[in-house]
A and B are shown apart, each in its own frame.
Chain A
Amino acid sequence: DAGVTQSPTHLIKTRGQQVTLRCSPKSGHDTVSWYQQALGQGPQFIFQYYEEEERQRGNFPDRFSGHQFPNYSSELNVNALLLGDSALYLCASSLFTASNQPQHFGDGTRLSIL
């Protein structure tokens, strides 16, 4: 089991562009959460997907959107990129029915905005 996998590992975009990041959860997990980790900060919760619906959302603008597919994989989309969106984006998976069980994290996607 490869655990949580994310792609791509690195991405460079310019201001105003749009980006899509991808995540495959750990085998057996059905819930995907996305986090943004700016330099020198802890991960900050963006949103969580279960049963292909956004279940919870952190304090992020509508430019941040997501999707979950029937195979539980997920995408994070960011529109109209700003310099401040430069960060490490982490995906974490868990089992929805096992609330408060530890989340398993991927290696992240490093997004740089020029």
Chain B
Amino acid sequence: AQRVTQPEKLLSVFKGAPVELKCNYSYSGSPELFWYVQYSRQRLQLLLRHISRESIKGFTADLNKGETSFHLKKPFAQEEDSAMYYCALSGYSTLTFGKGTMLLVSP
């Protein structure tokens, strides 16, 4: 069975501080991992995926197969980063989501 765990419900940081949103997964095959973000009053949208290895809005995430983790990181948080973040695993063309972490960035 595939499972995604996001251990923090809420992460509160000050503007300019580093951010790390944790994600651990359980999957027997080769996973495809994503981070989705939901800003206030907006629909769920893709932030980044591990296979593209790109940085979006300053966020990066590295797949660590040994630790089965896909943590989301940003060196300097901005107020506009405040949102709900979901880690998701794609297996057999369906998505399994974690429960999400609310990131609050204070001025």
Contact = CB atoms under 8 A, between A and B. Distances in A.
A47 to B, nearest CB: 9
Contacts of B45: 105
Interface residues of A, number: 26
Contacts of A48: 93-94
Given A33-B95, A103-B95, A42 B86 contact: yes
A108 B45 CA distance: 13
Contacts of B81: none
Interface residues of B, number: 23
Nearest to A57: B94
Given A105-B44, A106-B43, A41 B94 contact: no
A92 to B, nearest CB: 8
A114 to B, nearest CB: 25
Contacts of B4: 42
Contacts of A56: 92-94
Interface in A68-114: 90, 92, 94, 96, 99-100, 102-108
Interface string B66-107: 000000000000000000001010101111111110000000
A104 B36 CA distance: 10
A102 B44 contact: no
Nearest to B9: A40
A45 B90 CA distance: 11
Nearest to B92: A56
B20 interface: no
Contacts of B92: 56
Contacts of A104: 46
A96 B46 CA distance: 18
A76 B58 CA distance: 37
Interface string B54-70: 00000000000000000
Contact of A102 (B46, B94, B97): B46
Contacts of B95: 33, 35, 43, 45, 92, 103
